């Protein structure tokens, strides 16, 4: 693993400011239930530095919906074989599961599992070079840069080689305002942004994670506020999803359908003759692409798609702003 560590700022209060270390790292069994918030909210990415204020006090929520953030034993996870050396799993809302291990000096990740609408379950295993998350102690002004590599596995693509780069930083220390007039002082924000690159159906695909986590170690060892965006970019399919979670329940609410598009469901899969798509209206234009990105069929959706004349293989359907994968 190639590691470059930067100390961006040396601050006079460094000795007594909050910092991440192995002693306050969350333990197996730690769990918090956070409230699901409006994914269209301003995530205040540009609010960085010392003595800043992040004001999420007016953020809207999704009434009655919570997501668990927890740490579990990696060796007991059904995906453990893909993440040799991992000791813990950091699970954000059952959406993103990051496998990691740590020492007194650093925390490293062996990869992650993510449910991606276009590809299904994505298993990214950094089995060649694991990913540096942070050096311990990790305080305001510290950052890391790293290269990692291994492979990515999906049902549609099988296992393909992948490489990536990541940047992490403790980019802010200050006050966090959450709904219900709740104020948290001396909050440390951790920022992770990484990009994994692979070739799917002969086309370059990039998986990008952009995560902000807010910690108040007087409350607990798990974050009290999280924003996470995962984006998949390629010529074949593009998808971006954002998850915002808060310790304190918002006092205003939006509907779930206002917060995110309902996913379409394609069946049967695999298909021999016809496909139906649940959740799409008649009259919507569609196109079907092969593994080379070539359009092999297009038209207007009625009650089903006739795929009788398509050769056996893996295909992508683009319809109603969403992307679905099927095989024949």
Per-residue pLDDT of 115-173, as tens digits, reads 866 667 889 999 999 999 999 999 999 999 999 999 998 876 789 999 999 999 999 99
**Distances, alpha carbon 110 to alpha carbons 80, 85, 222, 323, in Å:** 10, 7, 20, 28
Of 159, 160, 196, 154, give the one whose Cα is nearest residue 327: 154
| Stretch 206-223: mean pLDDT | 96
Band of pLDDT at residue 317, cut at 50, 70 and 90: confident
Name the DSSP class of 47.
-
Of residues 309 and 234, more confidence is placed in: 309
Q: Of 141, 188, 191, which is closest to residue 166 (Cα–Cα)?
A: 191
- Hey, which of 90-94, 192-196, 290-294 has the most confident mean pLDDT? 192-196
Residue 321 has which token pair? 């702003």
Q: pLDDT confidence of 316, banded at 50, 70, 90?
A: confident
Kind plus residue range of the DSSP H or E element containing 258: helix 256-259
Q: pLDDT above 90 covers what percent of the chain? A: 62
The residues, ordered by sequence, that sit 6+ positions from 205 with a Cβ below 8 Å of its Cβ are 197, 198, 199, 232, 233, 234, 236
- What pTM does this model have? 0.78
Return phi, psi of residue 33, to 5°: -105, 120
- Domains of the chain and CATH, by start: 2-258 (no CATH), 263-327 (2.60.40)
CB-count exposure of residue 112 (10 Å: 0-12, 13-18, 19+) = buried
């Amino acid at each position: 693993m190639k590691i470059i560590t930067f100390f961006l700022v040396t601050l006079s209060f460094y000795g007594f400011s909050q910092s991440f270390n192995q002693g306050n790292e969350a333990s197996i069994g730690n769990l918090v239930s956070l409230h699901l918030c409006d994914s269209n909210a301003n995530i205040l990415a540009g609010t960085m530095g010392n003595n800043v204020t992040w004001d999420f006090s007016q953020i809207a929520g999704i009434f009655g919906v919570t997501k668990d953030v927890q740490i579990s034993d990696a060796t007991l996870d059904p995906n453990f074989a893909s993440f040799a050396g991992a000791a813990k799993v950091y699970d954000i809302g059952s959406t993103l599961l990051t496998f990691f291990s740590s020492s007194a000096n650093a925390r490293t990740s062996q990869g992650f599992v993510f449910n991606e609408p276009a590809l299904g379950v994505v298993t990214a295993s950094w089995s060649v070079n694991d990913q540096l998350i942070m050096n311990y102690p990790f305080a305001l002004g510290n950052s890391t840069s790293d290269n990692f590599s291994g492979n990515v596995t999906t049902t549609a693509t099988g296992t393909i080689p992948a490489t990536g780069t990541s940047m992490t930083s403790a980019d802010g220390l200050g006050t966090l305002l959450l709904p219900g007039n709740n104020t948290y002082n001396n909050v440390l924000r951790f920022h992770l942004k990484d990009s994994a690159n692979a070739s799917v159906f002969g086309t370059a695909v990039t998986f990008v994670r952009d995560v902000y986590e807010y910690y108040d170690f007087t409350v607990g060892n798990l974050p009290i506020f999280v924003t996470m965006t995962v984006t998949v970019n390629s010529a074949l399919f593009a998808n971006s999803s954002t998850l915002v979670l808060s310790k304190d329940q918002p006092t205003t609410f939006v509907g779930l359908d206002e917060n995110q598009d309902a996913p379409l469901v394609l069946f049967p899969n695999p298909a021999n003759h016809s496909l139906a798509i649940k959740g799409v209206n008649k009259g919507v234009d569609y196109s079907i692409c092969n593994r080379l990105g070539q359009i092999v069929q297009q038209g207007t959706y009625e009650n089903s798609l006739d795929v009788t004349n398509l050769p056996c293989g893996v295909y992508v359907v683009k319809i109603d702003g969403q992307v679905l994968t099927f095989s024949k």
